Structure 1
């Protein structure tokens, strides 16, 4: 409990930093993405996969500048193509193999792209500074309610081969908790009821999928946590594993509803 309290104190200013518009948002986002990307790459080094880390880190910095200077999508696509071309040179010189390159770009898509949707929600969505909190509410409410419901009432295993402690009852509790908190949030800020239900229900399922994917990766590479930076929670990627999948979902739904 003491560790989780310390973690909460650590995460609070982090979340506040993420929803402040302007350069602090972009720099803070780049720092968090870099840490999460480092954790992702380091995890695979346990099974002798050696990602081209410098490509991932450079892309993270360029992603930050793209947010600051509002680069077009075509520019980011060009940068990604150049990065891929450079990775091919690594393979041809036999400094890396195809698996190393695959994990390099998996990290870019899984961590950089998905996490950046938090920033895009703030910048591009009407009332984005309010809606962005739904990303965290969905993920964290799902996690908290799934844990407590599963611990007290869980009897039927969800996917024991990936995460032995997760139960069907806990999963349902996570969904109900997400819906309850998002509807309450919507009432406070006068947001559409239907949108809150849609975002929270499906978002909770996606959040749980994100958690299971992270657990599957950790089981595959033989580690318990991605890192130790957050007491009681492990690394940044351990805490935000569900957030980074919920973020693109929330952004895309809100973009569609705005049409």
Structure 2
């Protein structure tokens, strides 16, 4: 537990520095994290006997990240299409080494990991000319929304854990994640909705819309966690890695963020939060 706490404190401090600094540092960290998560994903499925297209996967992640960094939606569509077709073609060109199932699993992993981290980069640089004044100073709009995304996701996990530990009685998905309870999930929904609404007040953003965003974050964060749980049960692993002492791997730590990052990005665009 002590190792977990120390690692958590160091991780939060590092995350705060990277998020606030932005620029190439933030984008670079997003790329590194996506590649590390892909390595863990490929290794997990290798244990199950799958031979994923590892190098093509890294290339795909880099290209998706590059499109996000450049902010070109048309290039993103072209790259996504190209990745899918190239990986599927590998099941033909490397027949006997890469099966069709291997190729499909590779495509799923590349898009599952690459697109959310790309959205994280796009979210950080959304409406760069807009700044939000707070009691702690001025925040770039994208920086503020990255904080909303991370704090909302952390709040979801935290409220679910403590509520479930205190009063959890009814299993939410016992065949997928035996420790999750209905009570923990409801605690997550209420706590995350309140936390993100509070962030709305802090950043002087519409509180009703932010409360709705918090509600959505709690749902998507829970589903993101369950998706990784299904994958880990299928591949027979407990943790995706041990790169983060006491916390497992990158995939373990960002499983919920993979769902909440695109959610926050599109919610901001649809709700017009950056225009208010």
TMscore range, shorter length: over 0.9
Q: Which residue number corresponds to residue 9 of structure 1?
A: 9
| Range moving further from structure 2, 146-155 or 85-94 | 85-94
Q: Is residue 2:182 matched to residue 1:168?
A: yes
Matched residue, 1:99: 101
1:14-55 C-alpha deviation (Å, 9 max, x unpaired): 353145332112111100111111111111111101110111
CA distance in 1, matches of 2:184, 2:191: 10
List per-residue Cα deviations over 1:195-238 (Å, max 9, x = no partner): 11100012101110111111111011100000101122100110
Q: Which residue of 1 aligns with 2:199?
A: 185
* Farther off after superposition, 4-13 or 38-47: 4-13
Instruction: Specify the alignment match of 1:221 in structure 2.
Output: 235
- In structure 2, the CA distance between the partners of 1:38 and 1:151, relative to structure 1 (3 Å rule), is same
Q: Which runs of 5+ in 1 are unaligned?
A: none
CA distance in 1, matches of 2:79, 2:193: 39
Return the match for 2:112 from 110, 113, 131: 110
1:87 shift after superposition: 2.4
Call closer, same or farther: CA 1:128–1:193 in 2, change over 3 Å.
same
Counterpart mapping for 1:3-82 below 5 A: 3-12=3-12, 13-68=14-69, 70=70, 72-82=72-82
Q: Is the 8 A contact 1:156 1:167 kept in 2?
A: yes
Distance 1:24 1:116, change over 3 A: same
Which runs of 5 or more structure 2 residues have no equivalent in the other structure? 131-140
Q: TM-score, normalised by structure 2?
A: 0.88
Q: Is the 8 A contact 1:135 1:250 kept in 2?
A: yes
Deviant stretches of 4+, over 4 Å: none
After TM superposition, give the deviation of residue 180 of structure 1 in Å: 2.0
Preserved contact between residue 30 and residue 121 of structure 2 (Cα < 8 Å): yes
Give the corresponding residue for 1:120.
122
Cα RMSD (Å): 1.7
What's the CA shift for 1:168? 0.4
Which string of whole-angstrom CA distances, capped at 9 and with x for unpartnered residues, describes residues 61-84 of structure 1?
Answer: 22333344x252222333333333
Aligned residues: 258
- Counterpart residue number, 1:235: 249
